[in-house]
Structure 1
Amino acid sequence: MKGFNILISILLTIAVKSAFAQSQNVSITSPDKRLALNISATGKKLAYAIHSRNTAIIKASAMGLIVDNIDLGDNAQITGPAVLSTIKEDYAILGNHNIAYNYANEAEIPVAASGQKFSIIVRVYNDGVAFRYTLPVNAKRINGERTSWSLPDDVTKIAWADFSQSYEGLNYVTTVEKIPEEKTIMSPITFQANGYYVSIAEADCEKFSDMALVRNGNTLTADFPFAKNGWEIKPANTQMQLNGMYHGKPVSPWRTTLVARSMNELVNSDFITNLCPSPAAGSDFSWVKPGRALWQWWSVGSPKYEEQRKWYDAAAKLKWEYYLIDDGWRDWKQPGKDQWMLLKEVIDYGKAIGVKSLVWADSKEFRKAPERRAYLKRIKAAGASGIKIDFIPDATDEIMQWYAETMQDCADLKLLLNFHGSVKPTGLRRTYPNDITREAIRGNEYHMTRYDRVMPPQHDVTLPFTRFLAGPADFTSVILNPKELESTKFTWPHEFAQAIVYLSPITHFADQYQYYLDNPMFDLFQQVPTTWDETKVLPCTTMGDVVAFARRKGDTWWIGVMNGGDEREIKIPLDFLKKKTEATLIYDGVNNTSVDRRKQTVTNRDVLTIKLRPSGGFVAKM
């Protein structure tokens, strides 16, 4: 296979040389020849465009970094033929399915601009296009970026999110014109046009500040909201795997455009993780185990030491793998015992009954490397399986390196990792699978009576096409307390469907344990998985209106449906079933905190007709 790849690279290089000899234009196509990226320096302005066959996906758009006050997209020239290669591999993943396939054509294109030499590295997949910039030799400062995405004229709807330091803004589905101009919005954003679903984001962000977007007319442009004045380029730490280098050269993150012909392709894409490095040679992440977690903070506030055994006992009854000891444990005191001794006591109790522990921490405890390693070692010594790190500063270049260093330290100590109050993921869970979930989402912490917070129904049915396209999210799903559901009238099936639709390899269930133990869906709570072997986005799904996923684990299918704010009727074909089976069906009940539970024998010829209340839902196991 290696020799075959070399032959393909030679042939592709010959083809690009021919194109280069004729103009300042390079075109790279996907392995299936459907998707094409065109990069040009016509008129000495760097630009790119993306087409799928004869359909414009992204119209001609600006490229370039601003480095040492020089715009590398201006006064530019492609200086030689592209060097091409192919990528073909697969790897295990905890996600919408269990194997990811990484097939792409890659090219490095040499460029000069205002006396500065650099390269554009591109990859074209069957389901997306990405490019990144190498930095000129002796570059000292990143001042900004010109990369933009010029949208096609006939975008029918676009999903986007408000600016938020920790990605906790509301998500919307609107027309392009409804996005505020000249104001930062958070990626990923996803639009629908010409029969395609297209999502814009970034991948493999290691040493750059986090990228957001700004709209100007029909164009979205890269924005660094946490580094408005740029940042100094620091030498790479060669001891770290994630040090901002690619093939020995300092680079920007990938600028990504996911292109899907259906919602099913969109949701199932591994495009973002494919662009990230594989784990270091010899790494063993077999100890990374997904599961369900109970926790206390959302429902009743800070965990009290004397109540911890009841919470562990409840997790054991639910057959859930984890319990999270959240903010408040550091205030525990008993005669002759400090908080660390008490923490170990409750963790030991959990181990004795088969429940593993995750422990909350404030990032300010360990912003520097020596303090971080010492603190993490102490968490490990207490017997914890993982850590939830909260209150993380703005995602500057330095903080992005702090994320990478923390992933590495936790991997060395075999600690699972959940960043809260954090930046979005950019696919690096491929490199460090222990980075198992993170917040960076407006989750159920924004639907709480004690804070007078209420979530609108459209937000729930938009997230699968915005934040979740960047990676798993700790939404803290499944509210059952009737008082908490009084405002928006989310139904119990809608809430349970969150645990099926929203991917989080460790799923934290928000509510007080008694609401799960006493619920008519108790047996299903005991069984629902958090990672999947196969996922299908069902045809009734529309962005911002209703979301319906069928997911398979082993030979069992689960269906989760969440409705937006309008009553509707949907139909679900069961053509994915292999044989006749008995199904458990959970419909909206007579009110929002009841269910209509039925048993029914179904086959792959059946079609379920489901009437959904506003903010309603449906769950099935078959």
Structure 2
Amino acid sequence: MNFCKAISTALLLIATGATFAQNQILTVTSPDKRIALTISAADKKLSYTVKADNFPIINKSPLGLVADGTDLGNNTRITGQPQRSSVNESYAVIGNHTKAINRANEAYIPYTAAGKPMALFVRVYNDGVAVRYTIAPGIKHIDAERTTWTLPNNVKKIAWADFHQSYEGLNYVTPLAEVPEGKVVMPPLTFQSGKYYVSLTEADCESFADMALTRSGNAFTVAYPFAAKGWNVIQPSKSIYLNGTYKGKLVSPWRTTLIARSLTELVNSDLITNLCPPPAKGSDFSWVKPGRSLWQWWSVGAPKFEDQKNWYDAAAKLTWEYYLVDDGWRNWKQEGKDQWQLLKEVIDYGNTVGVKSLVWVDSKEFRKAPERRAYLQKVKEAGAVGIKIDFIPDADADIMQWYAETQQDCAQLKLLLNFHGSVKTTGLNRTYPNDITREAIRGNEYHMTKYKRVMPPQHDITVPFTRYLSGPADFTSVILDPKELATAKFTWPHEFAQAIVYTSPIIHFADKYQLYLENPMVDLFKQVPTTWDETRVLSCSSMGDVVAFARRKGTSWWIGVMNGADEREVKIPLNFLSAPTKATLVYDGETNTSVDKREQTVSPKDVLTIKLRSSGGFVAKL
């Protein structure tokens, strides 16, 4: 009987294999069967399509690398049945919620291209798909990439960002036709089509150059602006955990398509971190603690040694956990003492008032491993718990390995890590949770009168649906100085809402400490969390117009609303509450630097009606 079953199974596999070899098409579906990724080599060109509920998300689009002068997406043939597997796990996260569910169907698909043995790894989730390439033995140089996303014809609007070396370009929401053709734009890029929100980016970039995109018609294709001539393949190092391999094979990063049926699903997706490796076995990141940080550079410039106690004292009064000693400390000198001794003195003082220290450094101090480890060790010995690394070179493949090495060194030394002047995260904060936030965003450094910089309001309300989809970002939120807010007339509630809407497990508040301590919202500044148990995007939100988040921490709900350039009225049902509760409600005041603050009881049946000024906002704690 068993022998007959074995023969039947073998015959079935042979028949299926023959049909598959003839058609050169295969489909992988999500665990809930709603999303389908189809891979094809039927015309000897590797391509794919994506559908959700049979609705076209990505039309037929090319796949393939160009390596050693050969297009490895042409003259292709799938050479065997896919090796199918599944992913089913959960893990703790800090940010929008507390636990990520990682459930997907995966397939390993062997193919040949120009005679080279290649393969695709694909994963299909209930909220998206991802594709990555294996790098065949003998390939020496990556020239380019053909991976493309061909959008459907009914795109309503699209959110995208200008090219910038460290992702500090402006973000926009426009019709598809207004995205510049032939020019580099920076992902994540998010579009609305039918009832879906779809976002395109990459995950688990370890030893490839950073990925950007260029548009041609409805199609966006991978570009490497920081490695225009390509790069020599980096062979895996056993000393680096993130060494560019997956299941023992040298691979490209994942090319990702996030698919959501609502803005709440979009911002809560864990697709990008799900595609990254877990921490190395035996790792302990229980020491990684989120919190709020004072920071003096934006408001007063370089830190003065004799002024540091005032900043630590202010952080303690605000009950904030951190203070960042920014650029300028390396110039401190006193008779008989160098900058390191003085740095230790101020850090020691911070510890006496219960405030931990983060320290700024220029990346040129440690581009190579021995110097990096020695410098980080000195920071650790000075008593700091974290480091902010700035002015990082263009993200070619070598620099992406430098990021991985730095993450590893900081983890081993138990140092929190904040990359500034950097590229976007690609989910590797899952692997190294000490990589707790990073810049790679046009934040409040681009709203400063001394540099004649003014931020347009649309940028603020777009980034939750672009850059923040790839991971936490250090926007350096909450400007309160009336002089700095005079240009665009951002309101105080709008600014405070940044701390609620923008995900950053450590928030570096931009302004002078006096402006927080003397503000009518000081009680809320002392309480606002930086990580959340639950996140909802409220129904009044619209990409490019207004953004409103409700976030829960424990039994408290916080609401943050930021408006764009046009005055509007929005309604917020409080049906996410479970019972009547006391509430602090902060509306725009008569001027942009005043507030209308109210205390009242609200219930799940209530609907708040909020009139928003141009560049206005609203904040509530319930």
TM class by shorter-chain length?
Answer: over 0.9
Whether the 8 Å contact between 2:361 and 2:388 is mirrored in structure 1 is: yes
* Residue 467, structure 1, aligned to residue 467, structure 2: yes
Whether the 8 Å contact between 2:21 and 2:79 is mirrored in structure 1 is: no
CA-to-aligned-CA distance 1:352-390 (integer Å, 9 cap, x gap): 000000000000000000000000000000000000000
Counterpart residue identity of residue 325, structure 1 = V
Whether the 8 Å contact between 2:24 and 2:40 is mirrored in structure 1 is: yes
- DSSP 3-state at the match of 2:542: coil
Whether the 8 Å contact between 2:497 and 2:617 is mirrored in structure 1 is: yes
For 1:605 and 1:53, the matched residues in 2 are separated by 34
- DSSP 3-state at the match of 1:81: coil
Whether the 8 Å contact between 2:318 and 2:517 is mirrored in structure 1 is: yes
- DSSP 3-state at the match of 2:314: helix
For 2:496 and 2:232, the matched residues in 1 are separated by 47
Q: Which residue of 1 aligns with 2:604?
A: 604
For 1:169 and 1:416, the matched residues in 2 are separated by 26
Displacement after TM superposition at 1:137 (Å): 1.1
* Residue 32, structure 1, aligned to residue 32, structure 2: yes
Displacement after TM superposition at 1:241 (Å): 1.0
Q: Which residue of 1 aligns with 2:404?
A: 404
1:113-512 counterparts in 2 under 5 A?
113-512=113-512
Displacement after TM superposition at 1:42 (Å): 1.5
For 1:99 and 1:19, the matched residues in 2 are separated by 42
- DSSP 3-state at the match of 1:357: strand
Task: Give the 3 Å change call, closer, same or farther, for CA 577–379 of structure 1 in structure 2.
Answer: same
Whether the 8 Å contact between 1:295 and 1:510 is mirrored in structure 2 is: yes
- DSSP 3-state at the match of 1:437: strand
Whether the 8 Å contact between 1:13 and 1:81 is mirrored in structure 2 is: no
- DSSP 3-state at the match of 1:547: strand
Q: Which residue of 2 aligns with 1:589?
A: 589
- DSSP 3-state at the match of 1:20: helix
Percent identity of paired positions between Structure 1 and Structure 2? 70
Whether the 8 Å contact between 2:141 and 2:232 is mirrored in structure 1 is: yes
Task: Give the 3 Å change call, closer, same or farther, for CA 224–300 of structure 1 in structure 2.
Answer: same
Q: Which residue of 2 aligns with 1:3?
A: none
CA-to-aligned-CA distance 1:272-308 (integer Å, 9 cap, x gap): 0000000001100000000000010000000000000
Task: Give the 3 Å change call, closer, same or farther, for CA 155–66 of structure 1 in structure 2.
Answer: same
CA-to-aligned-CA distance 1:490-536 (integer Å, 9 cap, x gap): 00000000000000000000000000000000010000000000000
For 1:54 and 1:398, the matched residues in 2 are separated by 41
1:548-567 counterparts in 2 under 5 A?
548-567=548-567
Q: Which residue of 2 aligns with 1:102?
A: 102
Counterpart residue identity of residue 438, structure 1 = R
Displacement after TM superposition at 1:164 (Å): 0.1
Displacement after TM superposition at 1:203 (Å): 0.1
Q: Which residue of 2 aligns with 1:7?
A: none
Displacement after TM superposition at 1:135 (Å): 0.5
- DSSP 3-state at the match of 1:483: helix
Whether the 8 Å contact between 1:16 and 1:27 is mirrored in structure 2 is: no
Q: Which residue of 1 aligns with 2:5?
A: none
Gaps of 5+ in 1: 1-9
Whether the 8 Å contact between 1:28 and 1:124 is mirrored in structure 2 is: yes
Q: Which residue of 1 aligns with 2:618?
A: 618
Number of residue pairs the alignment of both structures matches: 612
Runs of 4+ with deviation above 2 angstroms:
12-19
Whether the 8 Å contact between 2:35 and 2:125 is mirrored in structure 1 is: yes
1:514-553 counterparts in 2 under 5 A?
514-553=514-553
Whether the 8 Å contact between 2:500 and 2:560 is mirrored in structure 1 is: yes
CA-to-aligned-CA distance 1:172-213 (integer Å, 9 cap, x gap): 000111011100000000000011000000000000000000
Whether the 8 Å contact between 2:21 and 2:78 is mirrored in structure 1 is: no
For 1:266 and 1:235, the matched residues in 2 are separated by 35
Query: How much is the aligned-residue C-alpha RMSD, in angstroms?
Result: 1.2
CA-to-aligned-CA distance 1:560-612 (integer Å, 9 cap, x gap): 00000000000001111011101000000001000000011111111101000
Whether the 8 Å contact between 1:19 and 1:26 is mirrored in structure 2 is: no
- DSSP 3-state at the match of 1:504: coil
For 2:191 and 2:168, the matched residues in 1 are separated by 20
Displacement after TM superposition at 1:19 (Å): 6.0
CA-to-aligned-CA distance 1:58-114 (integer Å, 9 cap, x gap): 000000001111111000000000000010000000110000000000000000011
For 1:110 and 1:85, the matched residues in 2 are separated by 15
Q: Which residue of 1 aligns with 2:4?
A: none
For 2:85 and 2:240, the matched residues in 1 are separated by 26
For 2:548 and 2:378, the matched residues in 1 are separated by 43
Displacement after TM superposition at 1:234 (Å): 2.2
For 1:573 and 1:408, the matched residues in 2 are separated by 45
Counterpart residue identity of residue 492, structure 2 = W
Counterpart residue identity of residue 225, structure 1 = P
For 1:70 and 1:135, the matched residues in 2 are separated by 13
For 2:15 and 2:421, the matched residues in 1 are separated by 48
Q: Which residue of 2 aligns with 1:47?
A: 47
Whether the 8 Å contact between 1:17 and 1:82 is mirrored in structure 2 is: no
* Residue 71, structure 1, aligned to residue 55, structure 2: no
For 1:177 and 1:328, the matched residues in 2 are separated by 45
Q: Greater shift after overlay, 418-427 or 17-26? A: 17-26
For 2:166 and 2:147, the matched residues in 1 are separated by 23
For 2:91 and 2:487, the matched residues in 1 are separated by 44
Whether the 8 Å contact between 1:473 and 1:503 is mirrored in structure 2 is: yes
Task: Give the 3 Å change call, closer, same or farther, for CA 13–229 of structure 1 in structure 2.
Answer: farther
For 2:194 and 2:18, the matched residues in 1 are separated by 32
Counterpart residue identity of residue 210, structure 1 = D
Displacement after TM superposition at 1:433 (Å): 0.2
Displacement after TM superposition at 1:13 (Å): 8.8
For 1:254 and 1:541, the matched residues in 2 are separated by 30
- DSSP 3-state at the match of 1:209: coil
Counterpart residue identity of residue 177, structure 2 = E
Displacement after TM superposition at 1:16 (Å): 7.4
Displacement after TM superposition at 1:14 (Å): 9.7
Q: Which residue of 1 aligns with 2:7?
A: none
CA-to-aligned-CA distance 1:395-424 (integer Å, 9 cap, x gap): 000000000000000000000000000010
Whether the 8 Å contact between 1:13 and 1:84 is mirrored in structure 2 is: no
Task: Give the 3 Å change call, closer, same or farther, for CA 277–18 of structure 1 in structure 2.
Answer: farther
Whether the 8 Å contact between 1:562 and 1:618 is mirrored in structure 2 is: yes
For 1:502 and 1:44, the matched residues in 2 are separated by 45
Whether the 8 Å contact between 1:574 and 1:606 is mirrored in structure 2 is: yes
Displacement after TM superposition at 1:15 (Å): 11
For 1:311 and 1:335, the matched residues in 2 are separated by 24
For 1:97 and 1:388, the matched residues in 2 are separated by 25
Counterpart residue identity of residue 106, structure 2 = E
Counterpart residue identity of residue 464, structure 2 = P
Whether the 8 Å contact between 1:13 and 1:83 is mirrored in structure 2 is: no
1:87-98 counterparts in 2 under 5 A?
87-98=87-98
For 1:480 and 1:557, the matched residues in 2 are separated by 23
